[in-house]
């Protein structure tokens, strides 16, 4: 092995200027939950190579912005929503992943309260909520990106209170349980689940009942984000489901 130069490229300003340059994009997996299953916001791809294929929401990154800022901008543009939970997952970099040339894409996922959100009418022929399990082949490597984000979500939702970003502010314990069951594809015991949740001490009992159901209405709760932050900063908390 030769160390012929003894400097790495970064050290060398000239080599830097001649460096391979790349296009960078952000692709965003927008998850939503409608009470029945986990949904993803899917776009109809119009690019010639993948015309008609399902794709994620994504755009190229500008030189002047961070990736987080790009992801926020893209979400704002396509959903009109702001202040969503947003997390970087992984960079995808197969040189052949984009038919027009080298594009490295950084994947994010984000969580939306699906009930509070209506797809912009101007975009409604290009955007739809798809069931996670219904999606097969997609444009680019978006299927891989989606499933990579899904496994990250499955892991993180057990360690952090992400589930509450997918539910309405007021929710029932059964809705919460169903959410976990459908995201994790497991069954949970109702009583043990409730014991765990109430022992956490982070749910606020709103003393309100569910409306317009044709059976016994369930009690409504909300999640105490403030208390969660406090407990977490004091270090005496491990949220785990």
Partner DNA sequence: GTATCTTTGTGTCAATAAGACACTAAGATA
Partner DNA sequence: TATCTTAGTGTCTTATTGACACAAAGATAC
Number of alpha carbons in the 13 Å side-chain half-sphere of residue 90:
15
Query: Please, what is the minimum distance in Å from the beta carbon of residue 224 to DNA?
Result: 18
Torsion sign over Cα 180, 181, 184, 187: positive
Task: State yes or no: residue 23 binds its own copies (CB under 8 A).
Answer: yes
CA distances 210 to 111, 154, 173, 215, Å, are 23, 28, 11, 10
| Subset of residues 92 to 111 that bind its own copies, contact rule: CB under 8 A | 93-95, 100-102, 104, 106
Task: State yes or no: residue 213 binds its own copies (CB under 8 A).
Answer: no
Would you give the DSSP letter of residue 125?
Answer: T
Please select the residue that binds its own copies; options are 34, 120, 208, 226, rule is CB under 8 A: 120
115 binds, among its own copies, DNA, none (CB under 5 to 8 A by kind): none
CB nearer to DNA: pick between 2 and 216: 216
Query: Please, what is the minimum distance in Å from the beta carbon of residue 197 to DNA?
Result: 10
Query: Please, what is the minimum distance in Å from the beta carbon of residue 133 to DNA?
Result: 23
Task: State yes or no: residue 144 binds its own copies (CB under 8 A).
Answer: no
> Cβ distance 240 to 158 under 8 Å?
yes
235 binds, among its own copies, DNA, none (CB under 5 to 8 A by kind): none
Please select the residue that binds its own copies; options are 20, 187, 207, 240, rule is CB under 8 A: 20
Task: State yes or no: residue 88 binds its own copies (CB under 8 A).
Answer: yes
Q: How far apart are the C-alpha atoms of 33 and 166, rounded to whole Å?
A: 6
User: 155: closest CA among 122, 188, 109?
Assistant: 109
CB nearer to DNA: pick between 86 and 174: 174
Query: Please, what is the minimum distance in Å from the beta carbon of residue 18 to its own copies?
Result: 10
For the beta carbon of residue 217, count every other beta carbon within 10 angstroms: 13
62 binds, among DNA, its own copies, none (CB under 5 to 8 A by kind): its own copies
> Cβ distance 95 to 105 under 8 Å?
no
Window of 43-51, 111-119, 175-183, 209-217 that interacts with its own copies by CB under 8 A: 43-51
Query: Please, what is the minimum distance in Å from the beta carbon of residue 138 to its own copies?
Result: 13
3-state SS class at 210: coil
CB nearer to its own copies: pick between 65 and 208: 65
Buried b (16+ CB within 10 A) or exposed e, 11-50: eeeeeeeeeeeeebbbbbbbbbbeeeebbbbbbbbeeeeb
């Amino acid at each position: 092995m030769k160390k012929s130069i003894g400097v790495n490229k970064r050290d060398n300003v000239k080599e830097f200027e001649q460096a391979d340059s790349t296009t960078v994009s952000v692709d965003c997996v927008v998850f939503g939950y409608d009470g029945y299953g986990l949904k993803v916001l899917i776009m109809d791809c119009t690019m010639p190579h993948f015309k008609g294929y399902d794709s994620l929401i994504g755009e190229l990154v500008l030189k002047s912005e961070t990736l987080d800022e790009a992801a926020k901008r893209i979400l704002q543009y396509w959903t009109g929503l702001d202040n969503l939970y947003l997390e970087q997952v992984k960079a995808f970099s197969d040189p052949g992943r984009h038919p027009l040339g080298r594009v490295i894409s950084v994947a994010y996922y984000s969580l939306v309260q699906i009930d509070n959100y209506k797809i912009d009418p101007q975009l409604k022929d290009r955007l739809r909520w798809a069931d996670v399990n219904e999606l097969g082949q997609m444009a680019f490597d978006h299927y891989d990106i989606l499933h990579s984000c899904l496994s990250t979500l499955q892991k993180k939702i057990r360690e952090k209170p992400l589930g509450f970003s997918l539910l309405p502010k007021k929710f029932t314990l059964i809705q919460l349980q169903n959410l976990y069951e459908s995201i994790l594809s497991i069954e949970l015991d109702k009583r043990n689940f409730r014991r765990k949740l109430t022992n956490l001490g982070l749910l606020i009992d709103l003393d309100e009942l569910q409306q317009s159901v044709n059976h016994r209405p369930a009690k409504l709760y909300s999640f105490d984000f403030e208390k969660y932050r406090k407990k977490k900063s004091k270090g005496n908390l491990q949220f785990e489901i």
